[in-house]
Structure 1
């Protein structure tokens, strides 16, 4: 991932790089819940049998799990659908897109994004802003991208699959959408909520944050795809600027996908 500011990341009803370029998980949460089955995809990526649990060397490792879209065309189509204005304050519109050439349930992906962004624990809380899903021009375009497309946009200089914000585009890495992150295991739903809220948070002008209170919920703008430990984030990023000072203070937070948990 180019580390400009990078993820480093609700059920269907219930998903800088340098300071002058991208913002995402590598300057690119809750109690376990039942994870819904992932949409069917076409991919050659192999899964590891659940009977052989893996010991992860780093919290930034991509967890074992189902296959995911590795490649796509690099172009995107809008998922049709619009919604009401939710929240008060300045209105931010968003559109939902999926990369061409990958097989996913478009409507299920869009419904998850909608449910996350309109949740009362999300970015509309406390009158901060309002959001509305549109099919046309939008201030934020939220894209589900194949692993290779996400790497091309978000960078892979630190060899960790992440999501990112590229201008008005939020790019969600399908590898993480289907596998999640070690810190959140086995709760894929909460990780997807984190993906959406973290990267949309960048689009809303939010920067990275460290774990502030040991044992407390991680700030949603903490790079939780890397880790919920400040020390481990510093070790993984290896001195690459993350757009915020991350102290080596031994603090470890609990994974969290919400701006206002």
Structure 2
């Protein structure tokens, strides 16, 4: 729309039309001023000082936030320590036990050093209860083995007296038999001499029967002149009588090593089957002969004193002051 010369003269200059407080005509569009009211445009500074001047505390917050973000990302990606404990139990990634705060709930009571000379090592050690009276009859455990060793063959069976609680032999008759088989087939046992062989059978004639037997029945077969629990070889019945009390608790000379004592007891009594007599300690501080009465102890003076009340063993061991260490095998390892 064209305006007359008079209208153009009446209109304010263009720069005045946008000044604050100036009246606009109806034909003029609304236009926001680029400059905020009451403020003058400042010249922005450059460089670090300029950043600080322009952004204030925010310039310090940005790197801090970046570091925190990186830590969160790394923690999220790392394996969970709780997850490791769930998967590995009480150990960390290296398998080492973790420590916990506070005192332990239970602590060890290590065995005291056994005085092999000055205390009554023939006493039965403390331990679990065991069956004391059986029926005087035995049940042979089914099963057999191949021949172990070379030389004269000895066939044997394994039996448990009726009335022996299953807990006394670990609740598994076959496992008990395997333990005995393993002892007799060990090259450190009698087969290691190269003179005898062993084979378990469950029927037919046998040379001996290894019989787990209650103490009261044992006393009747083995005698009880030396009034400490022991085992024996009983020729009239061809029984190797293994006393339940000793099988369960062992002997003080062997301290807490029950497996070694059981091995000794089998080898010692089978040694009698092979016509080996009792022996004493031969060299001070050395392993005892398996035919020494280690159930009573390994000090010659002490064993000799006990044997004074047993006519069959009187004088077998010399009271010469020698003391050996416990030993379960008749054949030294090569």
1:69 aligned onto 2:131: yes
User: 1:17-39 CA distances to partner (integer Å, 9 max, x unpaired)?
Assistant: xxxxxxxxxxxxxxxxxxxxxxx
SS in structure 1 opposite 2:190? coil
User: 1:92-128 CA distances to partner (integer Å, 9 max, x unpaired)?
Assistant: 0000000011122311221111000000000001311
Alpha-carbon distance in 2 for matches of 1:182, 1:132: 31
The structure with higher relative contact order (CA 8 Å, sep 6+) is 1
Alpha-carbon distance in 2 for matches of 1:183, 1:139: 30
1:200 aligned onto 2:275: no
1:190 aligned onto 2:252: no
The runs of 5 or more residues in structure 1 that have no matched partner are 1-49
User: 1:113-159 CA distances to partner (integer Å, 9 max, x unpaired)?
Assistant: 10000000000013111100000121111100011111111111211
Residue 70 of structure 1 contacts residue 146 of structure 1 at CA under 8 Å; is this kept in 2?
yes
**In the alignment, which of 194, 198, 215 is matched to residue 127 of structure 1?**
194
Query: What's the TM-score, normalizing by structure 1?
Result: 0.77
Q: CA shift at 1:239, angstroms? A: 4.8
**Equivalent residues, number:** 212
Higher mean Cα deviation, 231-240 or 197-206? Answer: 231-240
Q: CA shift at 1:66, angstroms? A: 1.0
Alpha-carbon distance in 2 for matches of 1:99, 1:63: 23
Query: 1:117 maps to what in 2?
Result: 184
Residue 91 of structure 1 contacts residue 131 of structure 1 at CA under 8 Å; is this kept in 2?
yes
Query: 1:148 maps to what in 2?
Result: 216
Q: CA shift at 1:232, angstroms? A: 0.5
Alpha-carbon distance in 2 for matches of 1:238, 1:127: 35
Give RMSD over aligned pairs: 1.9
1:213 aligned onto 2:283: yes
Q: CA shift at 1:243, angstroms? A: 6.8
SS in structure 2 opposite 1:87? coil
Q: CA shift at 1:53, angstroms? A: 7.8
After superposition, residues 1-261 of structure 1 pair within 5 angstroms as 57-104=119-166, 105-136=172-203, 137-167=205-235, 168-241=238-311, 242=313, 245-261=316-332
Alpha-carbon distance in 1 for matches of 2:303, 2:271: 19
Structure with the greater alpha carbon radius of gyration: 2
Higher helix share: 2
Higher mean Cα deviation, 105-114 or 55-64? Answer: 55-64
Q: Which runs of 4+ in 1 moved over 6 A?
A: 50-56
Query: 2:18 maps to what in 1?
Result: none
User: 1:179-198 CA distances to partner (integer Å, 9 max, x unpaired)?
Assistant: 00010011000000000000
Q: CA shift at 1:209, angstroms? A: 0.7
Alpha-carbon distance in 2 for matches of 1:119, 1:101: 30
Q: CA shift at 1:162, angstroms? A: 0.6
Query: What's the TM-score, normalizing by structure 2?
Result: 0.61
